[in-house]
Each structure stands twice: as structure tokens, then as C-alpha cells.
Amino acid sequence: MRLDITGRHVEITAPVRQLITKRFSRLERLLNDAAVSAIITLTKEKYRLRTEIAVHTKGDHVLRGNGEGNAWPISIRQATEKVEQQAQTLKGKWDARKRTAAPRVVRSTGREAPATPRIVRATRYAVKPMSLDDAALRVDGDGEAFVVFRNAETDAVSILYRRKDGNLGLIEPE
């Protein structure tokens, strides 16, 4: 992250610069690479020391924080805490919006065991006796991906599903 430190009626000394970079290291860890730049303005008005911070992040978000005190550590801490709070909220929104990634295929080099797929148990599914035509109507009408049913003619459990080409597929036991 690029830091632009400006002093109004104050000289930016090495300890003040070090204090700012120390406080911003925590913010950088929080936002990872999402923080693009930060503009820090330090102002001295009589006995008051003000710190204004504007952090530009990816996605055109600007996080702003103001701090005021009679010493630079107090003023800088107040401003960075406000920006960190906004960053936490923004990061929470980003994380909530992220989709779960597709499972990665682990290439086996022969030394480690291949990853086993995880089994997710779905809710119980009632197997009802019905004809093949009724099952086809249920897949078409309700928009379900598949129907497990007991075939009324053969009394066998069958599965009717929608194929990728738009047709219906039937799985029957032998």
C-alpha cells in the first residue's frame, strides 16, 4: 500500500512516520492486497493535533477516519481505529459475497494418498409408487432435477433425472 503523508503546520519526523507505518501494518494485514493507497494528513492547530486518514481500496471504496488529541499517538490511534472498524465491515461484506470455490483436483505424485470426496447427507427422500409418466410430469412441472420413485408396473425403485441435453434419463435396477 502506498502511504502519502502530508503535514500542515507540522514537520513529519521519523518517529511520527514510524508510528504511522506501525499502525498501518495491522490494517494491511486485515485488508491483504485490497488496500491500494492511503492519504494521511497531520494538522496542528494551537494545542490540537488532528489526523485525517483516507484509505482507497479495490472496488472504489474509501475508508475515512479522523482523530484528535494533544499527542500524535492518541490522534493517530483514534483515526486508524475508525478506519480498521470500517475495513472489518467491508471485509465481512466481501467474504459474505464470495462463492465457495470448486473442489481442487489434487494431482497425486505417488507419495501422498489422494483426497477422498466428502459425502453430504441430504434430507430423507420419500419413495412413492407412481407410473413413469407421472414421474416425468413431476420432473418437468416442479422443476426438480430428479425423482426417485417406485415404478408401479415393475415394483422396482427407479430414478428419473433431467440430462444436460434436456432429455430425461431413467435409471432402473437389473
Q: Mean pLDDT of all residues in the chain?
A: 84
* pLDDT category of residue 90 using cuts at 50, 70 and 90: confident
Relative orientation angle of helices 14-31 and 72-97, to the nearest 10 degrees: 20
pLDDT of residue 94: 77
pLDDT of residue 112: 61
Q: What is the pLDDT of residues 1-25, one digit of tens each?
A: 788 888 999 998 999 999 999 988 8
Average pLDDT for 54-68? 89
Average pLDDT for 36-62? 90
Of 2-11, 77-86, 131-140, which range is least confident?
Answer: 131-140
pLDDT of residue 99: 61
* pLDDT category of residue 102 using cuts at 50, 70 and 90: low
Could you give the 3-state DSSP secondary structure of residue 56? Answer: strand
pLDDT of residue 43: 93
Residue 163 pLDDT > 80: yes
| DSSP summary character for residue 112 | S
C-alpha cell at 94: 466481501
pLDDT of residue 77: 92
Domains of the chain, CATH where assigned: 2-96 (3.30.160.100), 128-171 (3.30.505.50)
Residue 172 pLDDT > 70: yes
Q: What is the longest distance spanned by two Cα atoms in the chain?
A: 94
Please choose, from the candidates 160, 123, 165, the residue with its C-alpha nearest in 3D space to the C-alpha of residue 138. 160
28 — phi, psi (to 5°)? -65, -40
Average pLDDT for 44-55? 92
Average pLDDT for 150-165? 85
